[in-house]
Amino acid sequence: MSAERNRQNIGLSDLQNPLFLCPSKGPRSLAIQEKLIGAKNYRSWRRNVEIGLATKRKLGFVQGTVTRPTDDLIKAKMWDACNSMIIAWLMNSISESIGKSILFLNSAGQIRLQLEQRFALSNGSRKYKLNKDIYEVKQNHASISDYYTKLKCLWEDLEDMNELPKLSAITDEESQREILDMNKLDVESAALYSTV
């Protein structure tokens, strides 16, 4: 009877809450198409994980936006349960050798950071190889669709390595230019310029 009463108390807002964990979800309920084996498939694996976690409203755990509550013991325990489930989902989607290296990390966010540091490094040799692959790709006997898909994947891999600068860096650079411009002006013009 109490379980039925609990089901009636679960409202839509509870289902939207990232701390809500459906009782029917288990460690194997997140279906990731491919296991992470290393840098070679990290980008596609990461995207699959992001999509899967977003459908379960758990992406914030790995991104660090859903943090463990410190002021509410019940919510902290709910967070711990969700975090453990996400760790289990991640462990089931990676190769055994990679899994051993992250087994003792305590949060899904720590696991994401560790994997990001290991496999998402942007380096010159990887960019060189992607540019070389793009240059050398040929249609041969493949269909136009297959050829284009292969080329598009290479372009996206290369584009993913060329990360955009953070907004704060752009803002800092613009502020720096304004200061340099103001140094070139006389005192009266600088005062007028700063009010614009």
| Residue 138 in tokens | 């040929």
pLDDT average, residue stretch 169-194: 57
- Structural domain boundaries of the chain? 29-119, 124-161, 169-196
Confidence check: pLDDT of 168 > 80: no
pTM of the model: 0.61
pLDDT tier, 26 (very low <50, low <70, confident <90, very high otherwise): low
Closest CA relative to residue 47, chosen from 165, 166, 157, 162: 157
pLDDT average, residue stretch 75-86: 92
SS3 at position 46: helix
